Amino acid sequence: MLGERKQLSSFDQASEFDRGRIVAYRECGLSFRVAGSRVGPNQTTVMRICDCWMQEGTTDRRVRSHPPRCTTSRDDWNIVRMAVTDRSVTSRTVAQHIQSVTHHPVSARNIRRRLQQSGLSARRPLLRLPLTQNHRRLRRQWCDERRMWTAEWNEIVFTYESRFCLQHHDGRIQVWRHRGERMLNSCVTHRHTGLAPGIMVWSGIRYHSRTPLVRIAGTLNSQRYISEVLEPVVLPYLQGLPTAIFQQDNARPHVARIVQGFFVNRQIELLPWRARSPYLSPIENMWSMIAERLTQITSQAATPDPLWQRVEAALSAVPQEHIQSLFESMPRRVAAMISNNGGYSGY
């Protein structure tokens, strides 16, 4: 009695044992249909196996022919070398160079495939401030002096300004469109040629608390920094924190002589800060949290006042535990910068 026939698609290939069974059934006089019903493959596959046996004396699968590689191993090495030497080089440029050397057609798609096979992928570059050797040296020195800090970071009040625009475009926003709709008005994001309308805010964070949020209108100068931020906000906040150390970056309003005199007269201890080190401060990550919360709001604020209210609400919604986790990352930030010799780190 014949067993239940196994249904296979036309492109399924029989195993070596089944191919031998098919040939044996045919030599015993069974038809192609019966041999296929007993083994499994369809009649066309059975005929192809038997034809291969008659002509070549074997039932082994024929080696499939592939188009020859358009590049050699040496070409592949040169492709990777070009991409590593110039990280922003395009695949089209590499293809044109390889083609000029080998005199064989090479497409940009081939180049991308070779780079992917070597572990290289196209990614959006990390945006950071340029660093000179002196910047790196001073940043490394600053971290070396504080490489053993742990609980000391909890006494620092990290402060920084941040600007939030009415239309928040951080490069991650994408649109769904069909081919040919690139110029459609609903698929276009508008950008401003000048300073985008929005609001400037200031705040400070400490391990166990945070300062009030300050809205800054217009351009902040040293006098306004004292009258609108330091006197009404920072002084009252620091009065109950005798061991607190104040941190600020080296922006001109912060390092002006009148501001430095204010800190000396009020006996406020400052944390020295190195130039071009914004991402060493955990408050940068807090502002990123706020910006991400704002992007989750479907409707954008039409005027600065509703935007200010949203920023206030978003800041209030950040749990203090999240800020504490940022402070707890400071030893890792310092270690990462030391390991990169004052260069860029993953923070």
Phi, psi of 68 (to 5 degrees): -65, 145
Identify whether 319 is part of a domain: yes
Which CATH number covers residue 228? 3.30.420.10
Identify whether 124 is part of a domain: no
pLDDT value for 173: 58
Same domain, 41 and 162: no
Same domain, 264 and 139: yes
Domain that holds residue 83: 73-119
Nearest-angstrom CA–CA distance, 17 and 37: 15
Q: How far is CA 95 from the centre of its chain?
A: 27
Same domain, 226 and 87: no
pLDDT value for 190: 58
Nearest-angstrom CA–CA distance, 215 and 227: 13
pLDDT value for 70: 82
Nearest-angstrom CA–CA distance, 69 and 106: 10
Nearest-angstrom CA–CA distance, 310 and 294: 7
Same domain, 50 and 149: no
pLDDT value for 258: 97
Same domain, 115 and 134: no
Identify whether 20 is part of a domain: yes
Helices (H), 130-179: 133-145
Q: Which residue numbers in the chain have pLDDT < 70? A: 1-13, 61-67, 168-177, 182-183, 187-196, 298
State pTM to two decimals.
0.69
For the stretch 6-30, pLDDT in tens is 444 443 467 777 888 888 887 888 8
Identify whether 173 is part of a domain: yes
**Could you give the number of structural domains in the chain?**
3
Identify whether 87 is part of a domain: yes
Helices (H), 146-188: none
In the structure encoding, which two tokens stand for residue 296, read together?
């989750």
Identify whether 63 is part of a domain: no
CB within 8 A of 290, min separation 6: which ones? 162, 164, 311, 314, 315, 318
Phi, psi of 344 (to 5 degrees): -75, 145
Same domain, 103 and 228: no
Same domain, 271 and 244: yes
Same domain, 39 and 92: no
Tell which residue, 343, 294, 285, 345, has the closest CA to residue 317: 294
Identify whether 316 is part of a domain: yes
Tell me the DSSP string of 166-195.
SS---S-------TT-TT-GGG-----SSS
Same domain, 191 and 143: yes
Beta bridge partners of 46: none
